[in-house]
Amino acid sequence: MKICSKCNVSQDEKEYYTYYHSTLKKLYTRHICFTCMRKQSKEYKSKLRQQKQILEQVPQQENIIQPVVQELKQEVLKGQRRCKDCNEIKNMNEFYPNRFQCIVCVRTKEAIYRRKESLERKMNYGGSERVKQTPGDYADIYQEQQVTEFLTALGWKLNPNGVWSKKGFKNKDKVWEKPIKKYTHKHSPNHKGSKRSPIYLKRDELIKLNNDGMTYLKIGNIYNISPATVMRIIKDNYDKK
């Protein structure tokens, strides 16, 4: 239970606004309940409305019409073009082909668009794609906000010392109540060894054909094996002599 600082009524904490302080990295609860906040907001809006009505009643000075001076248009010479954005006359080599905006204006627009697109991507997809290895260290405020909302939805609580804790898993002193099991992959080597192909039993025939002048390719075509296999079989036999 919490006492409202405006109406002095004890209410449940669910009746108060909570917000995340991005600088101090903490969750705070306001001292004014929902009802008082709405009442305060209505009073503030009515006060602004009254001030606007008072200003409308005060006679305003008439707008002074300034004389319009027509600017002298500079003549565009041959080999030049006027930029539609900055309205400056520049040489043709300062423009992209078949475009009426100069290179400087085009690059400025592209840079503004890229910054805007990057900001929208960060806001929609939880901040930067870079994830730092140190816990509690974030690449930007959008990443920090998304992580805080996600962990809070899962039941985790951010303590004043900056440690996330959850009952049954981890306490505020950085001690895991349920230790994480480390699984290791057990290798099962093949102790039986590999079986040789039945063609090894005919290595004497392969050696005889090779000594008679037959190539590895022709021998392989006879026994339906590759020339590399023929060579390995014959060389194994030579090593054993």
Q: How many helices (H) does the chain have, and how many strands (E)?
A: 6, 8
Q: What is the dihedral of CA 226, 228, 234, 239, to 10 degrees?
A: -150
pTM of the predicted model over 0.75: no
DSSP 50: H
Length of the chain: 241
Is 127 strand, coil or helix?
A: coil
Tens of pLDDT, residue by residue, the chain (241 residues): 888 888 888 888 788 878 787 777 788 788 888 888 888 889 989 999 888 888 888 766 655 566 665 656 678 888 888 898 888 888 989 998 888 899 999 999 999 988 888 888 777 777 777 777 777 788 788 888 888 888 899 999 988 888 888 888 888 888 888 766 766 766 665 444 445 667 778 888 888 998 998 999 999 898 888 888 888 888 874 444 4
